[in-house]
Each structure stands twice: as C-alpha cells, then as structure tokens.
Structure 1
Amino acid sequence: MDLDSDEENVIDEDFYSFLNLPKEATKEEINNAYRRLSLMYHPDKHVEQAAKEKAEVLFNKTKRAYEVLSDPHRRAIYDSLGMKGLETEGWEIVQRTKTPAEIRAEYEQLAEERAERKKQQRTNPSGNITVSINATDLFNPYDDDLFDDEYEDDLLSKIPNIEVSSMQFTQSVDFPLTQKDTCTLAGSLQTQNGTGGGGVNLSWRHIFSHKSWAEVEMTAGGGPGLSLKGFRTISKRFFWNGGTILQFTPDGIRPGIMSTLAMQIDKHSVGYITYHGGIRSLFSTSVVRDTENNRYNFGIQVGVPHSHISLHYTRKMNQQELKLKMAIKVGTFGGIIEYGAEKKISKHSQLSFAVACGVPSGVKLKIRLTRASQVYSFPIHLCEEIMPAPVFYASIVPIVVYIVVKKGFVEPFLKEEKSKKVEKQKQNNFNKLIEKRKEAMAAQELMTASFNRIRNEEENKKGLVIVKAIYGKLIDTNAQGDTELSNEVIDVTVPVQCLVKDSKLVIYEHGKSELAGFFDPALGEDKMLHIIYNYRDQSHEVTIPDNESIRLPKTTHRTNVT
C-alpha cells in the first residue's frame, strides 16, 4: 500500500468487497448478493427501533452498491475511478456517452490529459554522477626499495594512497511544450587527472505517432555540433532508429552517421544490427533474449580502435527483488570477466555492485546506486593485475557492508517512515474508522438471526461450521507454527458463517476489511484472516493473507484434532 499522497490516504468504499463479488461478476451474481444482504439488513426484517435504525444505514449502503454495480454506465466509471469518479465528472460523461467502452475510453483520455498537465508542471530532472577512485596502492604499494634511502620512513608514508582519478556529472531537464513536443536541456562536466571539460546539449523531439519520432540536437563544448535523429516502426517485427551528426572543429566539419535495425525474433527475443560511421567506425550485431526469470545478451562488434565478442547473463529472482549478473568480453583490448548483483532496496532505489577482472585492466569494483532518475556510480580500481586478495575483498566487502547498512540504517529508517505514514493515514481517517467500526458491529448484531439459522442448518447436516474466525494483524512466531494474535484483531466468526452457502464458503481476492461485518483493525499493516472450522465432524484450520481469495472446505486444512 502506497501511503505517500493524502488522496491515497483516504479510505474509499469497495462495493465488490462489500457484496463479496469478483470484479468480473455477472448481473445474476450481483442480484444474488444484493438479495442475500437485503434479507439481513432490510429495516422491515427487524422489530426494535434501534435495530431498524442500524439496519436502515446498512441497507442503504447495500442498495447504493447494488445500484452502482448493476448499472453498466456507473459500474464502468466506478471501475475506472472509484467513488471519486461518480461524485464528480462521472454524471456529465454519462449524459454524453452510451456504452461502458465509450466511458472507459473517455476517462482514459481525461486521465491522460491530467497526467500531461501534471507533466508540464515539472521538468523531470535526471542525472548521473560518476566518481572513479584509484585504490591500486592497497594491493600494488609504492616500492621504496627502488630508490635511494635518503628519505626516512614515517607513519604517513605507510598509509595507502587512495585518490579520485576522475569525476563526471551529467544533468538534464525536460520542458514539455505540447503533448507531442518536448525540449530537453542537458549539461555535462568531467575532469581527469587535473584536466577537464564540459558541454551543453539542447534537443527538440517531435512525436508524429506511436510509430515514429524525430529529434534535432545542438551541442556546445569541444566544438559545436548538430545532429538529426529519428525512430520508425517499419512493421510488427522490424523497427529502425538512427541519425547523422555534424561536428564543427578547427580542422573542418566532421560528419558521422549511426543506424540501428532491430527485429523481433520471437516473443522474448530481439536482434539488433548497428553501424556507426565517421570519427569512430564500428559494426555490431547482438541478440537479446529477455524472459521472466532470465536475460541473455550476445554481441559481436568489429570496429576501430577495438573489436570484441561479449556475452551477458542475468538471473532474475523476482520474489527476492534480486538480480545476479555475469558477463564475459574478449577482444583486441584483452579480456574481462565481470560478475555482480543488483538489489532493490526501496520502492524507488536499486543498489548494485560488480567485480571486473581483466587483462590488462586488472581488478575493479563497481558500485552503483539508482534513486528514481538519479544514478550514482563509483568504479574503484583495486589492482593493475589479477590477484586473489583484491578479488576476494571486492567480492566479500560489499556484501558485508550491505548487510550492515541494511540492518543498521535502512531497515530502521524504512520502519520509522512506514510508522509515520500509517499514523498519518489513521489521523486522516480517524472519524471514518470510528464510523466503520460502528457499522461493522451493527452489521454483526443484525446478522445474529441469519448466523443462528445457517449454523444450525450446517450442524444438522454435518456441513461447514465456523468455530472461530479472526481478522487483523496476526503474528505467526510460535515454535509449533501456531498462529498467535496481536491486539489489532477482531472476531469475525458471525459474518464469515453468514457467507456460507450449501456447505461452501467463497471469499474473493479483495481487501476483506470492506466485507459486511468487517472493519480494518490495523490500518496500514499486513492483515490476515484466520479461520477454524468443522466439516463432517473433522477440525480444519487455515490462515490467508488479506488480498487472497479463499474457498472452503479443503482437505489440506485438516488438523490432527478429531
């Protein structure tokens, strides 16, 4: 759950969950759900005045949910924008359109226009900072024996010399002019061994359609330049991008050309053929295969000054939000073997490290932090030769540092941030939470008659009897695997039993806090539903996450208790 915006912090009604229906529910299923709740909540079904008043509130909510979901127009708006759409722009569109498809299409257009307006209000900055560090003195120390002994050793001379060998900064900002025109201003600055330079780029891109665009770019720094670039989808399987550049130097105009033709080989594979001509001439071809769990990239490049063959492999461990990477590159410059990992450390941040061992480059450790559109890179040159010590330390030290930083700083920080957001959400919804709790308690009172009737029917035929149902923040830390309870739970035995029909229980994959007789006892926390039930005089038990569907009974839920 994202708690960043105040809009998202406001609880919205989920009619599908309240009626216990799937998103694709049919008209008949909606009618049946409405009739089931109406039997419990219709004011005429109750005698006492207090019960009638409670029933009227819940019946009105049931009726409101039914009216929205049974009307194709209103349902289409609700599915697209929720209650906000019904309360504001929805009615105006209903008057102008006739079908749910038209409604969805118009709302998508409105959403795109709103997103475009927001985009025009900001400049979408992106940047890259690279700091290269020379730490070869750690493993290839300066040898004093090669020189005269006229200089006495001191403590400072024994400290390895670690220096920043080069730095590079790039930054760009976008200025959307129209929905199809964007201007980009970018700047770069680099320095190496005391000398440096920089440049400024200004480009304008026009999108003709989803199949093609063109871009004009002017550069300054190291001599002015002008380039033209373009992209075109040729067919379903082929697309092309390329361009030309004119570099103005004191020696004259240096032209250049670049072109890439790509072909979709199959669902997961794309082949590329690239040619660069001019100041640097090269020809390359590569094949990229990208599946859910693996990515392969094989390439061959022939050019000046170097040619090479490369193979890259990435193993995606999606559940752990981790990627393991390995690459081999061999060419006229020598050879390199590189291995590393990339880990998602927060919603918008990834941290990666890689160890590169090559001839004649030696051993390098590459650390990169990506935060939203900002990239921070730290390549560290450890040794000019391949030696066991730098390889070992380059492989182990980043892992140790990551664990220490994660456990000591990142996790406590994220936990504190989550607590603040949850507290903010509770404050924003304080009155609504009290109202929801009262509504749930009233619903359970009104369900008493139905609960007793359904329970007696199920007991008489040895069907599905709910012994206990608990919803909220559960803690499964018992050594025997038993589920322990926190103080942020509620008893939902009555409403769960009332959902049983013909000795079967089906709850769909919505957040269950919106079910009739439920409320959210642990806002912003991960919640579970724990059910103990009997079926054919045998005890069963199951615990499911909040947003997962459930179907009872199941033989896998049986316990050893008879």
Structure 2
Amino acid sequence: MSESSDESILDGEDYYTFLNIPRDATDEDICNSYRRLSRLYHPDKHQHPDRKKEAEILFSKTKKAYEVLIDGHQRAIYDNLGVAGLATQGWEVVHRTKTPQEIREEYERLAREREERRLQARTNPKSSVSMTINATELFATGDDDTPYLDLRDIFGLPHIEISGMSLNQSIEAPLTSKDTAILSGQLSSHNGRGNGTLSCALRRVLSERGWAEVELGTGAGLSCSIKCFRSFYQGFFANAALQANVTPNGIRLGSIVTVANQLDQQTTAYLTWKLGTSNGLTTMVIRDTERLHAVASMHFGVPQSYVSMTYMHKMPDHEIKLKLTAKVGTFGGLLEYSVEKQVSLHSHFSATMSLGVPLGVQLRLRLRRASQTYTCNIVLCDDLLPAPIVYGTLLPLVGWVAIDRLIVKPFLDEQKRQNMARQRESNKVRISELKREAAAAVELMRETVKRNIDMEENKKGLVILKAMYGRLVSSEADQEEATDDVLNVTIQLQCLVKDSKLILQESSKCQLPGLYDTCPGEEKTLYVSYLFHALVHKVTIKDREGLRIPKQSHRVDQQ
C-alpha cells in the first residue's frame, strides 16, 4: 500500500464508506444515510458536555461527507480526484457544467502548473555498466603444443579474462516546462582498445502531440542529429532522425524513420526504415497484456536479414517473467531463454542463456535498480556443446535459489519489519487520535445499539454476537481478544443493522464510524458471529470485500 493511501486511511477521507453507501448511491440513499447518522451524532441529542463535544466532531464529518456527495459538481471532482481534488487551489475557474473528463483535465492542468515551479530542482540520471568475460577455457580441451608454461596450467586453473567493458551515463535537466537538456557520455573498451563519446541534446515539446530534439556529439569525429516525434491521431504516431557524422573520409549521412499504428488496445505495429551506415527495413508487431508480451519482427537489409520471434510469459503473483526468443537469418541462428525476477520494489534480476551459430554459448546476468543497469556477459563456449549449456542453465538457478534463501529473503523480511516499525511510530500520534475518536463514537452508539438489539431480539432478527476487525492471525477468529492490532467492533456493526440486515460496501472497513486502521499497510480481515432466527452464523472476509448478512451459507451447523 502506498504512502498516500495510508494517509487517506488515517485521515478517514472515504465519504462513501463513512456513510456506508455504494459509490453509485442515489441522492435519496445519501439523504437517508445522512439522516440516520444525524440522529446518532447531532449535538442536540446529547446533554453531557463531553458527549456533546464528541458528537460535534462526528456530526461535522457526517455533514462534510453529505455536502460533498449531495452536490453533483463536488461529487464529480471527488469521484475523479478524491479529497486532494477538492483541496486544489484554482477550482474557482472550473465551471459547474463541466463533465468528469473535463474536470480531470482541469485538475491535470493545475498539477502541471505546480510542477513547473519544481522543475529546476529535478534531474533524471541514468547509468549502465556492462562487462564481457571470456570464459571459453572452462570448457575447452587442453593444448599440449603451447610454447610457454603458465602457472595457471600447473595448478589446473582456467584462463578467464575480462575482454570488454562499457559505461554509459546520462542526465536530463529540465530548463522550462517545455525544454529539457540532456547530457550523455559513453566509454568502452574491447580487447585492449577503447573509445568514448560525449553528446549534448536539447529537446523541446512543441505541443501535446509532438517534440523535436537537436543533438551534438563528439568522439569518433563530430556528429549532429535532428530528431522529432509526432502523434497524428489516437494510436498512430511516427518519429524520425537525421544524422551526420564527420569522418576523415568526409561527411556520412544517415536517417531513421519509424511509423507505428496501434491495432487494438494491446497490439501495436511498427515499420522502421534505415538509410546510411546500415540500410534496412524492419517490420514489427508487439502484443502486450497482463500475462504475456509477444514480439514478431522481420528485417531486410545490408549486411544481414533475419526473422525473429519473442514470447514472454508474465507471472505477476510471483513477480517472475519467463522469456523465449528465436532468431534466424543470413548471419546464422540464435535461441535465447531467460528468467527475470523482481527482487525488491525497484530492483529486477535476470539471467539469459544464448545459443547460436556462430555465436556459441553465452550467459548474460543483469541487475536493474531504478535507473541503473549492471550487465555481465559471459562467453562460455564458441561452439554449441552440451556441458556449457547445462552448466550455464543450472548454475544461475541454483545460485539464485541459494542467494534468495540465505541473503535476499532475510534482508527483505528485515527491511519490511523495519519499515512497518517506522510506519507505526510515525502514525502513532494520529492513530491515538483516531482511537479516541472511535471510542467516543462507540459511546454515542450505545443507547441506539441497545434499542436496536431489543427490537431485533423480539422478532428473532439479526443480532451481532461478536465482531473483530484487524490483523487476525488465529484460525479461530472468534477466540481473538481486542489488542493493539485487533478491534472489537460488535457495537459498531450492530449500529448499522437495519430491518434485520447488515450491508457493508466493497471498501476498507476502517472508514466506518467507530473503526480505524490499527496497522496501516498490513492485511486486515473482519470476523462476524451473529444470531439470526436464534441460529448462530459466522463469517470471515478480507478488509475490502463486501458483506451482506444474514446468509444461509453462514450457518454454523452447515459448515
């Protein structure tokens, strides 16, 4: 759960749940709920000074929720943007006749104006480090004709060397709301020979549909490029780049043009044409859904042409992605299979095996953390042999399981525990206030609940025997006692019983009158034991599940 949502829960800002009405409630539903809570919380209903003061606070919250939801204009703002939208400065310019979509656009305009004032303090640094390791001698046969003797040969150690490294770094510096300066550099070394480039670009947003960029670079000669992007209509866009490189042999020109069309909500087609240093035409179709990512592409050009297919299966529940790529062309063939695992909120680790002709066998390990990428490419064998394929596949899996169990998981568990402890400490004062407010609400409910129970018992209706809400850890929820993480909410739920029925909406129950979030960010459940027609019923639901009782399936003798 995000920090913003935690704050919303602690501040009790869900007006629908506070009034216990659905989000599509009619004006009549809103008025009925307001009148019911007004009879309970109106200060004139209470004579004791302390009770009257507590009632004033709760009645004020009830009135605020009613005023927002009964007003169509404020309700549209609240439904689209929440309480933050109601509090945004500048709403006086929004006409009351605007649609919800127009309201959201107006809110986004005001948000952009606030963002402009923070541009000078923002940058977007990105970096990547790549290393290539030649480990082919791990699986090579011995050579007795070697003219020299190496100590590693005496002790049987393989010859493993770092054959290449590269470092890329870029920084974006917003100048205005439309202009951004980009500074990037690249250093690389391969087999003892190195080179580097440095470039500076200025990007300007021309409209909501496009931008243009000019880039100057130096390294292997002076270079200049002009890039632009344009969205023509919904789902159809294009970008183009014109490049010029100054070399000792003259000026070399090149261009890249890409046109894309969104075929449906999950599928996009691309067509790319390259001229200059490498000529070619590439067509590509990408389909991306919640569970899969598939790419089919064909490239025709010089010096090579190929056909490529990629399929990625996403497993969101386990935060894992499995990927398979096949590529065949004039260069030969390539087969890649990989697995990617999210190890933390901002970190992803992946391992990829590449089998090809004439590529051989290579293992690529990659760690992405926020805007930083670290890649290690290990060349295992120049030929397709079984041993490097087996070892290159199994060793990363076994190594990852060991690291995950011994290092990553304990670290993340400890980090989660510390975050929860810090969150509890930071929310301690606010939770104490909510606890006092909830206790005051319960005291105001007691008389009403007593009458409600007498009326329900006389007609053998719905009587809440016991209700517990919070972090219930016992399988026998009815055995739980009230603690810092668990609330006894029997009175609160009985107060919501009307005509032998209790209906709770699909939202966090901590927003109901007399309840509060005892453990922000943690999973909570609600347990209810009740009598209906003198028979015991029991039910346990998750925090955001809806609940309608009584139900025949809740009867204890049927479970």
Same fold (TM over 0.5): yes
SS at match of 1:419: helix
Q: CA deviation at 1:86?
A: 5.4
- Out of 523, 526, 529, the position equivalent to 1:526 is 523
Distance between the aligned counterparts of 1:557 and 1:470, measured in 2? 16
1:252 maps to amino acid: G
Are the structure 2 counterparts of residues 398 and 552 from structure 1 closer, same or farther at C-alpha, using a change threshold of 3 Å? farther
| Distance in 2 between residues matched to 1:426 and 1:154, nearest whole Å | 57
Once the 2 structures are TM-superposed, how far is the Cα of residue 216 of structure 1 from its aligned partner? 1.4
Residue 509 (structure 1) aligns with: 506
1:332–1:105 Cα change, 3 Å? closer
1:57-85 deviation per Cα after TM superposition (whole angstroms, max 9, x unaligned): 32233223323333445545555665566
* Inter-CA distance 528–333: structure 2 relative to 1 (3 Å threshold): same
- Structure 1 residue 186, shift from structure 2 partner: 0.8
Aligned-CA RMSD value: 3.0
Structure 1 letter corresponding to 2:36:
R
C-alpha contact (below 8 Å) 2:200/2:216 kept by paired residues: yes
For the residue of structure 1 that corresponds to 2:514, the secondary structure is: coil
Deviation (angstroms), 1:157: 3.9
Which residue in 2 is equivalent to 1:350?
A: 348
Q: Distance in 1 between matches of 2:346 and 2:152?
A: 47
Q: Which moved more, 1:350-359 or 1:417-426?
A: 417-426
Q: Residue 198 of structure 2 aligns with which residue?
A: 200
Residue number among 211, 224, 227 corresponding to 1:226 in the alignment: 224
Equivalent residues of 1:284, 1:301 under 8 A apart:
yes
Aligned to 1:465: 463
**Structure 2 CA distance, aligned partners of 1:129 and 1:146?**
38
Go from structure 1 to structure 2 and tell me whether the alpha carbon gap of 1:448 and 1:347 turns closer, same or farther (over 3 Å shift).
same
- 1:190 maps to which residue? 188
Task: Specify the alignment match of 1:499 in structure 2.
Answer: 496
Matched, 1:128 2:128: yes
2:278 corresponds to 1:285: no
Report how far residue 254 of structure 1 moved: 0.8
Q: Does 1:272 align with 2:274?
A: no
Partner of 1:160 in structure 2? Answer: 158
Q: Which residue of 1 aligns with 2:36?
A: 36
Total equivalences in the alignment: 556
Range 235-244 or range 267-276, more displaced:
235-244
Residue 273 of structure 1, CA deviation = 1.8
CA distance in 1, matches of 2:538, 2:10: 34
* 1:300-379 aligned within 5 A: 300-379=298-377
Cα distance per residue 1:116-140 (max 9 Å; x no partner): 4334311111122111222222222
Contact 1:94 1:103 in 2 (8 A): no
Q: Is the 8 A contact 1:9 1:428 kept in 2?
A: no
Task: Give, in angstroms, the shift of residue 342 of structure 1.
Answer: 1.7
Contact 1:224 1:249 (C-alpha < 8 Å) held by counterparts = yes
Picking from 436, 441, 444, the partner of 1:446 is: 444
Distance 1:268 1:68, change over 3 A: closer
Is 1:56 aligned with 2:56? yes
Match for residue 428 of structure 1?
Answer: 426
Distance 1:391 1:486, change over 3 A: farther
- The alpha carbon displacement at 1:257 in A equals 1.6
Whichever residue aligns with residue 230 of structure 2, its letter is: R
- The 8 Å contact of residues 94 and 103 in structure 2, kept in 1 or not, is answered as no
Matching residue of 1:176 = 174
- Other structure's SS at 2:471 match: strand
Aligned 1:234-273 pairs, distance under 5 A: 234-273=232-271
Please report how far the alpha carbon of residue 354 of structure 1 lies from its aligned counterpart in structure 2 after TM superposition. 1.5
| Preserved CA contact (<8 Å) 1:474 1:485 | no
Aligned equivalents of 1:278, 1:140: Cα separation in 2 = 40
Deviation string for 1:501-553 (max 9, x for gaps)? 23332222332222111122223322221222344455433322223333334
Unpaired stretches in structure 2, ≥5 consecutive residues: none
Q: Distance in 2 between matches of 1:481 and 1:47?
A: 38
Q: In 2 relative to 1, CA 177–140 (structure 1 residues): closer, same or farther, beyond 3 Å? A: same
Look up the SS of the partner of 1:551 in the other structure: strand
- Name the CA shift for 1:116/1:542 in 2 (closer, same or farther; >3 Å): farther
**d(CA) in 2 for partners of 1:245, 1:186:** 17
Q: 1:65 maps to which residue?
A: 65
Q: Which has the larger displacement, 369-378 or 483-492?
A: 483-492
Could you tell me how far 1:187 is from its partner in structure 2? 0.6
The letter of the residue matching 1:378 is C
**Percent of aligned pairs sharing the same letter:** 44
C-alpha deviation, 1:160, in angstroms = 2.1
Quick check: 1:16 aligned with 2:16? yes
Deviates more, 1:155-164 or 1:330-339: 155-164
1:541: which partner in 2?
538
Deviations 1:1-57 (CA, angstroms, capped at 9, x unpaired):
234999889746433332223444432222222112122222333454443343333
Contact (CA 8 Å) 2:152, 2:159: kept in 1 or not?
Answer: no
Contact 1:126 1:373 survives alignment (8 Å): yes
SS of the equivalent of 1:438 reads helix
Give yes or no for the alignment of 1:146 onto 2:169: no
| Structure 1 unmatched ranges of 5 or more | none
1:475 counterpart SS class: coil
SS in 1 for 2:432: helix
Bigger mean CA deviation after superposition, 101-110 or 397-406: 101-110
Instruction: State how far apart, in whole Å, the 2-side matches of 1:292 and 1:524 are.
Output: 25
Report the AA paired with residue 277 of structure 2.
I
CA–CA distance in 2 between the matches of 1:174 and 1:265? 32
Letter in 1 for 2:17: S
Equivalent residues of 2:481, 2:488 under 8 A apart: no
1:76 touches 1:104 (CA, 8 Å); kept in 2? Answer: no
Code of the residue aligned with 1:498 in structure 2: it is C
